[in-house]
Amino acid sequence: MSTNAPIAAIVGAAETTEMGRIPGASQLQLHLDAALNALADAGLRPSDIDGIATAGETPDSIALQLGIVPRWIDATSVGGCSFIMHVRHASHAIQAGLADTVLITHGESGRSRVAGSGFPVPVPGSLQQQFETPYGTVGPPTMFPLPVLRYLKTYGHDAEALARVAVIQREWAGLNPRASQKDPITIDDVMNSRMISYPFTKLMCCLVTDGGGALILTSAERARDFPQKPVYVVGTGESMETPLISQMRDLTTSAAFRVSSREAFRMAGITHADVDHLMLYDAFAHLPIYGLEDLGFCAPGEAPDFIREGHTAPGGFLPVNTNGGGLSYMHSGMYGMYALQESVRQMRGIAPAQVHGASVSVTHGVGGMFSAASTVVMTNEL
């Protein structure tokens, strides 16, 4: 299998030293811890960095603390897929000569709430505040049920389809020593856990944790000069649909998912058969279902059966969310960085649940409850 020429290469990747509950570190400290770990992974010093991208914190905060004066910055913040977009933007900036070496950082004190930025709430006068918030839809647990209930009704599935996603994510987490939740669970466990907002029970919802991660990108030509196995970025995509969950063109599918992934696959020059490993943002249990269908791995309405047949589970032919995902591995608020980290580990061949012979990994994320999407295709081969 061959891909198109790489746009850039990931030469440094690391998460925070601790994960899960870190009451002794602020949000900014988590960004910096991850950044220093990624620099060490790449064998670099802060002075080697000339580009910074981040969300949650601001690039100037990162630059100040690390002593960097960058010539390229990106503060794109569209929710959980922001960091996946940063990879896209940084790759093309490097290709255009706007930066040589870019640091992307993430950190959130999601559980301990130590100097955290907090979850954004609709501001007065916004579309959400005018047209949705008065009816009780504020944040993921109350916004996501609308499309999910339409999907289940349209295609004749029930909530057990969501529960099965959580069960399989826990199977993967059981193979990962750093996962926050590793104990096996059953569909009954998920269905009988506390109801949060119908049809979501607690075990269908993401974890709330502390942590972060960072990536370092440079040109593909320079990649072999670094100590770690290069991971090449060969395709990227991004899109947006609507900030109002009620105004999706079709509640059973995400237009942003389709546009973003189609662009990434086109740029990479790959087909679905070329994908060995897939990371689908799973803040809530329905998102892998939408991801499998909107990215084109399943026809509309068929993802629950695809999952039930074991294709995404350990031993399946399309391993999905091999770190345990946002449901069982980590979810500090914006999950995209953790999905990227697992794709990098798989391409380096060092993942706890390594997919044998994997050469192409796709990371796909969502932001703002279906309002934004971004996709990155990685490979370990030229």
Q: Both tokens of residue 192?
A: 């009988």
- Reply yes or no: is the peptide bond before residue 199 cis, omega within 30 of 0: yes
β-strands 360-367, 277-280: how paired?
parallel
**216 phi/psi in degrees, rounded to 5:** -125, 125
By the 8 A CB rule, do 350 and 178 touch?
no
- Report the alpha-carbon distance of residue 196 to residue 208 in Å, rounded: 14
Helix axes 82-95, 336-348, angle to 10 degrees: 60
Contacts of 225 (CB under 8 A, 6+ apart): none
Of 232, 290, 329, 335, the catalytic one is 329
The 3-class SS string of the chain reads CCCCCCCEEEEEEEECCCCECCCCCCHHHHHHHHHHHHHHHHCCCHHHCCEEEECCCCHHHHHHHHCCCCCEEECCCCCCCHHHHHHHHHHHHHHCCCCCCEEEEEEEECCCCCCCCCCCCCCCCCHHHHHCHHHCCCCHHHHCHHHHHHHHHHHCCCCHHHHHHHHHHHHHHCCCCCCCCCCCCCHHHHHHCCEEECCEEHHHECCCCEEEEEEEEECCCCHHHCCCCCEEEEEEEEEECCCCHHHCCCCCCCHHHHHHHHHHHHHHCCCHHHCCEEEECCCECCHHHHHHHHCCCCCCCCHHHHHHCCCCCCCCCCCECCCCHHHHCCCCCCCHHHHHHHHHHHHHCCCCCCCCCCCEEEEEEEECCCCEEEEEEEECCC
281 labelled catalytic: yes
Of 281, 290, 335, 338, the catalytic one is 281
Please list the active-site residues: 281, 329
